[in-house]
Structure 1
């Protein structure tokens, strides 16, 4: 599978007076090489390598490119790993906005489906285990993935409170943890646990029984 890599913006000095980007000097950057390098990192992690154990030299060998090719694109491993993290990010699921229950199921189901992808779940566990040693990686993962997901869930819950479906005496962050926490626990802390169809509905319905507003 070829993984797309974000293309950096053209520096202002490389733009013409009309605002159009000029052709950079030297050989153009190869999108195929970018993808091969990111793909190599994902493959190595899938095969059991840790982020701490990866080296730029080893990544270059796995990608079938020279070490200089990797360093021309990323100044070091941390910068490369940030792009690997971004390559795994997905657009948040569309929410119908009609039923709070259905929207919550959609949010939790998104976590389950991502966890079923071996590469994604392996990388998440590696980052979680090693973020204290490489705080920039954790910050990037938090800012590009976790914050977006939590914001979406919080908006659904706030709507449920406004419309009188959910209790208003529970802290919003705690309420969010109650819904997404069980799935994240299985994904991050119990990789051997099953993630069967219908689990998202079961989690949401179980929590709703305790947090629904009393009519």
Structure 2
């Protein structure tokens, strides 16, 4: 997979002053990292010098675009993953389904891609890279989910007393459990809708029962 295939990145490194950015150069650098990973080079052995040599650029070219390996690896993971979805914005339920479907697709890709599975495992043993990935990729995705739920509360689609942070975990938790902790579990089509509707059944606004009709007075 190439950087161009993944669509626009949601958080690209800032360009250097006075020097135009070259998308082709950035693609070459990111794909250079991907090639090294595909060749089995561990993350710990991926130096900027080695990446520059593989991509056919100078080290200064990389440092003009990324502050270090952590930032670069975050963009490499963005390029390897499906792009973040655009939310329809029609209702809280529809937005939640789109978010969870994106998680399902990432789970399927992680299972089918040996390189992604390998890199995720290695990232967990590199605290700086793992922290950078969470700060720049995972946390913004979680905030997007929280904002969908806040909007649902404002629109009356979600009870006002529901804890947003807890609710966000309740929606994403089942999908993450199947995608990451239970690699043998199925990720069938329609799972996103099933999870969202099941959770909403307990978190949606309570409908007051219709009053019983008054008995007719005795004559």
* Fold agreement, TM-score > 0.5: yes
Give the equivalent residue in structure 1 for 2:106.
114
SS at match of 1:197: coil
SS at match of 1:52: helix
1:129 aligns with 2:124: yes
The 2-side partners of 1:42 and 1:192 are apart by 27
- Superposed CA deviations along residues 78-128 of structure 1, whole A, max 9, x for unmatched, are 353244245457764332333221111011112222333345953773365
RMSD value, Cα: 3.4
Give the equivalent residue in structure 2 for 1:206.
198
Give the equivalent residue in structure 1 for 2:2.
2
| Structure 2 gap ranges (5+) | 208-219
Give the greater-gyration-radius structure (CA): 2
Kindly tell me: are residues 8 and 198 of structure 1, through their superposed partners in 2, closer, same or farther at Cα, counting changes over 3 Å? same
Give the equivalent residue in structure 2 for 1:52.
44
| Structure 1 gap ranges (5+) | 15-20, 24-28
Alpha-carbon contact 1:100-1:156 (below 8 Å) kept:
yes
TM-score of the superposed pair, with normalisation by structure 1: 0.69
SS at match of 1:205: helix
Give the equivalent residue in structure 1 for 2:211.
none
The 2-side partners of 1:31 and 1:156 are apart by 33
SS at match of 2:133: helix
The 2-side partners of 1:103 and 1:124 are apart by 29
Alpha-carbon contact 2:158-2:205 (below 8 Å) kept:
yes
Give the equivalent residue in structure 1 for 2:88.
96
TM-score of the superposed pair, with normalisation by structure 2: 0.68
Q: Choose which of 60, 63, 85 in structure 2 pairs with 1:72.
A: 60
Give the equivalent residue in structure 1 for 2:142.
150
Q: Choose which of 157, 163, 167 in structure 1 pairs with 2:159.
A: 167
The 1-side partners of 2:117 and 2:171 are apart by 23
Alpha-carbon contact 2:100-2:175 (below 8 Å) kept:
yes
- Superposed CA deviations along residues 177-205 of structure 1, whole A, max 9, x for unmatched, are 10011112223333343322111111111
SS at match of 1:10: coil
Between Structure 1 and Structure 2, how many residues are aligned?
194
SS at match of 1:153: helix
Kindly tell me: are residues 77 and 110 of structure 1, through their superposed partners in 2, closer, same or farther at Cα, counting changes over 3 Å? same
Give the equivalent residue in structure 1 for 2:175.
183
SS at match of 1:98: coil
